[in-house]
Each structure stands twice: as structure tokens, then as C-alpha cells.
Amino acid sequence: MKKWLLLFCLIPLLSIGQTHRCVTDSLHRYKLAIDREYKLRYQNIEQSLQYHQLHKATTNDSAYTIPVVVHIIYHTDNASVENISDEQIQSQIDVLNEDYNTNNENILDVPTIWQPLVRNSKIKFVLANTDTNGNYTTGINRTATSITSAFSIFDNRIFSKVDGGDDAWNSNFYLNIWVCELENNILGFAAFPGTTSNSDGVVINYKAFGRFKNTIAPYNYGRTATHEVGHWLNLVHIWGDDNGACSNDDAIADTPKQANSNTRCPSFPKTDACTDTAPGIMYMNYMDYTDDRCMSFFTNRQVERMKQVLATLRNSIVASNGLASPNINQSDLSIDSIENPVTYSSNRCFQPKVKIRNNGNTTHSNITFNYAVSAGISKNYVWKDSIQSGETKWVELDEIGGDLGSNLFEVRIVNIDYNRVNNYKSASFRINNTSTFNCAISSSIAIYPNPFTNSNVLTIDANYPESQKATIKIYSNDGKMVYSKEFKFNPKDKLELSSLELSAGLYQMEFNGEINHDVKKFVVVNK
């Protein structure tokens, strides 16, 4: 009876129609009430961490790399949406690495008074290379479930293969992340240390996993996972989950007391009943409930608490073989990291730089990269150098540009190889140069080749210093429109039009942009 009364008490917290940022605390309190062993384990863990904190002489500055396995559970009737792409999964791993290593572009938004509290955790997340049996893996498990309804927070079928979910990999050695549809607009929940191993990990709604693409605003920057992994590393909500009493806090000395959660994007400074003087409450902390774009940092003491967990309770993950290099006898190229742009760029036009690795046993050359900024025109670059098995090399791509403010750089290797999961990388960054435009281009469009034949690709250079949406229209000499489509153009973008079937003659192209307008004529000749 006690169990069902507690379940009934939780129902008002999960009202239909309202988005629930995180229900980790609700689930945690429920487990404390019904599971005596869980309660004892959690109490012992807290006592151990407090002792560790009191008697620890030095700060933990160690770097940790955590192997991740992502379990995608999708309904067969909605597979096109729920069975998210490898690129979407990699974008979430990228967000975790940015946020936990202060490489997020909005780290610049942290108020000046709190900037000394910002700390790089040196915690890195990587999709596992090797499974629990020592075999090669992409770190992604996909399960088509016959379950027709969304999962509740009490539904242990999520964690069971035979029941329509997917089994956890050994939680001593992997961070398990389950991605599925959650009921009542719940975005995610996580297991605190001490949870039984079969459900030890993080669960995220597929609508909030990764950045942009299929995610829902304002939870489309991947910060749900950042928040929930914080719980997995034993951080609690910044307001201490005391319903505004100001009697509890988050056990973190350098975060101000806070009455309750915050939503949307408040204005700084914001005060409340628990902290009524400026600078007020730390609503932009990852452990609050604000919109993704407003979350920006962990404090020094939060990082110390997470690293205490990794040094003690979750220390076995350091010995994981999940990141061991398996024997691959096929071609396998990967993009390991992005050196530029990271966090911000001072120029509207910049030269991207990425680090690639040859994980296979075949020497490669003529590697093609496809890349774009913030959904602008994508560019291809062919790197003609060679990279041998086991080598890593830096590759500088051709210059590209973006908007002032927030941007997303995305790059992928086009070459087909054995493992495509690691062929994609993204970086969130900010262009902050508001005074000068450092990009030597003229103010017009260029069309080539001119004359043009249908066997060619018609290339359009939109040489404008301002990013803008524009419609390209092509008219024949008698005034008939034969082509029309809208694109987003960033500085230095080139648009390539293929499969144009145009009769011989004179044509006019119109560039109708939000800022610029231009007209060019070109000639089509017979093949």
C-alpha cells in the first residue's frame, strides 16, 4: 500500500501537457521510500563522500575518459523519428565534451563575478570501441521495440532486452545512456551512485538528445544529457530540492542558496527568497532547469564533487577496456577532434582545422570532407595527403564563414569505410567580431563555368560579407522561370547546382537575398 500511495503522490508532479525537465529527484525519493537497501547504500555513499571531502588534502586534477554506450529504443511505427542517426548521437557526445571541458560557446556568457568559479572538469566522453566481450563496437545499440506506449520513469522494461528495451552493459565499466520516448513530456532522468547495476545510467527522451536536428526547442542544445550525467556523477539540483524552504542546498559550497528551479532565460542578476541580494542565484548553472541556450557552466566545487565520485565510487570505469583499440582489418577513418573553430572565432571567415585518425589497416589518401556552418551551403574539400594505419594528422580545410553570434560547425568524412559513426564531428562556437570583417571578398555573385553545359556543375559564389537567406531564380531569355529554390548563404559559401537541364541560350540568374540583391547572365551551350 505504501508503494502505491507514493506513486499516487508523484502523479501531480508529472501533469500531462507540461514539459518536465528532469524527474531524477522524484524517482530518487521514491526509491528511498520503498527500497531500504537503496536508502542504506545512498546514505553510506554520502557519508563516504563527505569524509573524502573533509580529509582530502589536494584538489583532484586528474583527467578521466568515460566509455559510453547509447541504447536507442524506438517504436517500429515511428522509427524514422525515434531511431535517431549516428550523427545525432555523435552531436550529443560532442556537447558533453564541450560542456564538461568549458569549450561551449556560451561559456562567455557567465557573469563576470562568477567567472573565477568556472572549472574545466577534464572529463571526456567517448563512444565505446570495445564491448563487454572484447569485440568491436560502435558504442550504439539499436532496439526496435514492440511496446506501443511511451515509457514511464517506473518502467523497468527500458533496461531489459527480453521485455522490449535493452540490457545495460557492465555499469562498472561503461556509462549507459538509454534514448527512448518518455511519457508526460519528461526529458530525462538519471541514476545516482548506488543504483542497482541493471539500471545504472541515464535515460533521455529522444526529442532532447543531441543538438538541433530532431530535437525540440528550447531543449535543442543537448543540455538535458549534460544535466543528467551530472546526476550520474552525484550532483543534485542546485536548489537542493527542498521546495523553497532554504533549509537544504546542493551540498556545494560555491553555489548560492536557491529557493526553487528556474525556467526559460532569466535576466541577470536574479534574486529570490533564499538569496535576496546581487549577484543572486546561479540560474545559468547546468544543474538548474533553464533553457538549454542559457545553461553554461559547472562550478569548481561541483567539478570536485564529480571527480570525487570518479576517484572512489565509480573508479572502476578508469580500468574499462571499452576504449581499447580492437583489431580492425577494414578501412576505418575517424574525425577525432576539431581544433578550429572551438568556443569562438574572432573573424567572420576562418579556416577550419580537424584531427583525423586512421583506425584501420589501410593507408588512405584523397580523403573528402564535407562541412558547413549553421545550415549554410556545405563545402567539399579533398585532402590529397596520405595517412597510414594508426596515424593521426591535422587537416586544414578551405576557408568558410558564419554569422555574428552563435554558430554550429559540422564536418564529416565522405569516404565510405567500415565504421561510419566516428566520421562526423560538430563544434558549437561564437563569432564575436563586431567591428571589422576580416574576409577579403567582393560584393557580388559569380557564376561559373560560363558558358555552361548540362554536363557540368554550375557553381555560384555569393560574395557577400553578411549571412542571409536568399532565393536563387533562373529565367530563360523569354522570361520563363526555370528554377527557384531558397538557400542560406554564409560568407565564402559556394552553391553547386547539378542536374540542370537547360536548353542552349541566354539565361538570367537572380539572387534575391534578405540583404543583397544581384542579377547575372550566363550562356548555356550544347554538349
pLDDT band at 9 (very low <50, low <70, confident <90, very high): very low
128 and 72 housed in the same domain: yes
Mean pLDDT, residues 72-76 taken together: 96
32 by DSSP, 3-state: which? helix
Q: Quick check: 3 pLDDT over 80?
A: no
Which of 297, 319, 341 is a domain's end point?
Answer: 319
Please tell me the pTM assigned to this model: 0.88
Q: What pLDDT does residue 369 have?
A: 98
The total number of structural domains that make up the chain:
3
Q: What pLDDT does residue 205 have?
A: 98
CA-derived radius of gyration, the chain: 26
Q: What pLDDT does residue 52 have?
A: 64
Helix (H) or strand (E) holding 510: strand 505-513
Q: Quick check: 218 pLDDT over 80?
A: yes
* Amino acid (one-letter) located at 285: N
pLDDT band at 452 (very low <50, low <70, confident <90, very high): very high
344 and 465 housed in the same domain: no
Q: Quick check: 51 pLDDT over 90?
A: no
| Residue 416 lies in domain | 333-431
The per-residue pLDDT for range 416-447, each reduced to its tens digit, is: 898 889 999 999 999 986 555 556 656 688 99
What is the rounded CA–CA span in Å between residue 129 and residue 139?
6
The DSSP annotation for 438-453 comes to -----SEEEEESSSB-
The DSSP annotation for 467-508 comes to -EEEEEEEEETTS-EEEEEEEEE-TT-EEEE-S----SEEEE
240 and 170 housed in the same domain: yes
The per-residue pLDDT for range 100-120, each reduced to its tens digit, is: 999 999 999 999 999 999 999
CA neighbor of 139 nearest in space, from 203, 49, 66, 189: 66
147 and 185 housed in the same domain: yes
Inside any domain, residue 438: no
Average pLDDT, the chain: 90
Inside any domain, residue 33: yes
Instruction: Give yes or no for a contact between 265 and 278, defined as CB atoms under 8 angstroms apart.
Output: no
In sequence order, what are the beta bridge partners of 428?
408
- Per the listing, cell 550520474 goes with 232
Inside any domain, residue 327: no
Q: Quick check: 2 pLDDT over 60?
A: no
What is the rounded CA–CA span in Å between residue 464 and residue 276?
49
Q: Quick check: 158 pLDDT over 90?
A: yes
Which of 385, 407, 431 is a domain's end point?
Answer: 431
For the sheet containing 392-396, what is the strand order? 333-340, 353-358, 392-396
Inside any domain, residue 439: no
Q: Quick check: 467 pLDDT over 60?
A: yes
Q: What pLDDT does residue 58 have?
A: 63
Q: Quick check: 274 pLDDT over 80?
A: yes
398 and 351 housed in the same domain: yes
Give the CA distances from residue 469 to residues 348, 378, 462, 496, in Å, rounded to whole numbers and listed in that order. Answer: 17, 14, 11, 16
Report the CATH number that the domain containing residue 518 is assigned in CATH.
2.60.40.2550
Report the CATH number that the domain containing residue 418 is assigned in CATH.
2.60.40.10
* Amino acid (one-letter) located at 206: Y
Catalytic site positions = 228
148 and 212 housed in the same domain: yes
94 and 239 housed in the same domain: yes
Q: Quick check: 462 pLDDT over 80?
A: yes
